Amino acid sequence: MKKSLLHRLEEREAIIGILGLGYVGFPLLSRFAAVGYRTIGFDVDSAKIDALNVQRSYLPHIDMTGVHAAIQAGTCEVTIAIERVAEVDAVILCVPTPLDRYREPDLSFVTDSVEAIAPHMHAGQVLSLESTTYPGTTEEELRPRLERAGFVVGESVFLVYSPEREDPANPDFTTRTIPKVVSGSTSHCLDVAEALYSQVVDTLVPVSSTQTAELTKILENIYRAVNIALVNELKMVAEPMGIDIFEVVRAAATKPFGFNAFYPGPGLGGHCIPIDPFYLTWKAREYGVGTKFIELAGEVNTDMPAYVVEKITDALNRHVKPVRDANILVLGIAYKKNVGDVRESPSIAIISQLLDKGARVSYSDPHVHHFPRMRKHYFDLHSEALTPDLLAGQDCVVVATDHEAIDWDLVRKHARLIVDTRGVYEVDNETVFRA
């Protein structure tokens, strides 16, 4: 089984299946198609499938032309028909791993996907999980399900964990150039993992176990979460001292060793950094180990939207205007600049809290034209076109996401009051306030 699969992968004769065509799965589909593999993309969202089949984009910052061309050429197909997993040699799972309402890991997308594909899998396939998760998931959740389906892991099927490292809208790094951690349930599985990913990624980083790879990914995101919490807390310390924390970080960043620059903001967003630390804290409790440092960082970052709303309230008070019935324009609702992804975006929490206080809230975001339907929040809002009249009619403009496409000079010229969470402007404590 292994020898045949390795041959098909190395000769690019294998068919690659990608399950989940979002910010992680789609770039992988594109990359495998680009190097000549036949590919099948799977997604439960028929709107994505329909969009791809008519050459329409649903991820604005990602180039879809390569996949569109492959679909037209017949070398790539996209479908909701999960039974077609039987046709592929490799199945790569790129599905969400959110938190539930109790802020505990929700693996239902992963486990439901494995349960759905297991009846259609056959001997000689490789299953790779890319979703970020706690150490032990591959061995404790995926492997038993494959074994219950009658497979012998490492012999009849090969089980792999290789965490995604996508950074949407970052032009300096691509799926090909980002070094990729790979692991396997057995040594044979690791061999298959290397054969699979070496065809599309320049540098592989093999590790000794799936648990090691899972914790590696968690560490990467906790590192960012903790350091962002640190600068967010320092921002709250610096503000009453009259010190601009952004100037401090920029100055510290000139040190050529021992310092990495992290910048404060309105909170954490995206599908990884606000969520992944809690996966580890949950798993650590199973071993009786506390994670006070990680949990404290989570609390700091989670509290940032409330801090921003407090600063908006203070700024309005200085202009003798209460929050209730104030016209407030939020600039940017995506979780980071230059993307249209609003998952876990702190802007959403800021809008929700302002509405609760009776404000009249609107938003402008060049990458999010209509407020998306979300599990926790939905507001009947659409992106407003930035004009001098719109800006002049606001009691407060909140800089929540520093998209490059926003005309910041226009905003500064016509806004009466700006609360800046991203360090776009110099503070003057009359028109521009830091939050």
Taking only the tens place, the pLDDT of each residue in 326-339 is 999 999 999 999 99
- When the pLDDT of each residue in the chain is averaged and rounded to a whole number, the result is 94
Closest CA to 2 of 199, 196, 137, 280: 196
Does 317 lie in the same domain as 218? Answer: no
Last residue of a domain, one of 206, 227, 246: 206
- In sequence order, what are the residues at sequence separation of 6 or more whose Cβ sits closer than 8 angstroms to the Cβ of residue 141? 107, 110, 111, 114
Edge to edge, the sheet with strand 360-364 lists 360-364, 327-331, 396-399, 418-420, 432-434
Q: Are residues 105 and 220 in the same domain?
A: no
Alpha-carbon separation of residue 315 from 69, 303, 309 (angstroms): 52, 19, 10
- Same structural domain for residues 150 and 10? yes
The CATH number of the domain holding residue 373 is 3.40.50.720
Whether 39 shows a pLDDT value over 70: the answer reads: yes
For the range 236-241, what are the long-range contacts, defined as Cβ-Cβ under 8 Å and sequence gap of 24 or more?
236/307, 239/434
Q: Which of 169, 191, 206 is the last residue of a domain?
A: 206
Question: How many CA atoms within 13 Å lie on the side-chain side of 405?
Answer: 17
Does residue 194 have a pLDDT over 90?
A: yes
The contacts of residue 313 (CB under 8 Å, 6+ apart) are 323, 357
Distance separating alpha carbons of residues 378 and 383, to the nearest angstrom: 14
> What tens digit of pLDDT does each residue of 364-403 get?
999 999 988 766 677 889 999 999 999 999 999 999 999 9
Judged by DSSP in three states, 257 sits in coil
Tell which of 174, 206, 238 closes a domain: 206
Same domain, 215 and 318: no
Instruction: Choose, from 76, 94, 189, 272, the residue flagged as catalytic.
Output: 272
Q: What is the dihedral of CA 144, 149, 153, 155, to 10 degrees?
A: 160
Do both 67 and 181 map to the same domain?
A: yes
Residue span of the structural domain in which 257 resides? 209-302
Provide the β-strand partners of residue 157. Answer: 125, 153
Angle (CA) 86 88 94, round 5°: 100
Amino acid present at 144:
P
Strand positions, DSSP E, 348-426:
360-364, 396-399, 418-420
User: Do residues 164 and 288 both lie within one domain?
Assistant: no
- Using N-to-C axis directions, what is the helix angle for 292-302 and 304-318, rounded to 10°? 30
195 and 314 both lie in a single domain: no
pLDDT of the residue at 269: 82
Q: Do 199 and 230 share a domain, yes or no?
A: no
- Residue 91 DSSP SS3: strand
Look up 396 and say whether it is catalytic.
no
Q: Is 184 helix (H, G, I), strand (E, B) or coil?
A: strand
399 bridge partner residues: 331, 420
Residue 408: per-residue pLDDT: 98
pTM of the model: 0.91
> Are 119 and 248 within one domain?
no
Per-residue confidence at 208, pLDDT binned at 50, 70, 90?
very high
* pLDDT number for residue 274: 76
pLDDT above 70 for 36: yes
Q: In this structure, are 84 and 94 located in the same domain?
A: yes
CA distance 150 to 404: 53
Instruction: Grade residue 136 by pLDDT with cuts at 50, 70 and 90.
Output: very high
The single-letter DSSP state of residue 231 is H
Total count of domains within the chain: 3
**Residue 245, CB-side half-sphere exposure with 13 Å CA sphere:** 24
Residue among 168, 246, 163 at smallest CA distance from 210: 163
Residues 111 and 180 in one domain: yes
**Letter for the amino acid at 153?**
V
Tokens standing for 14? 């294998």
- Verify that 19 and 157 share a domain, yes or no: yes
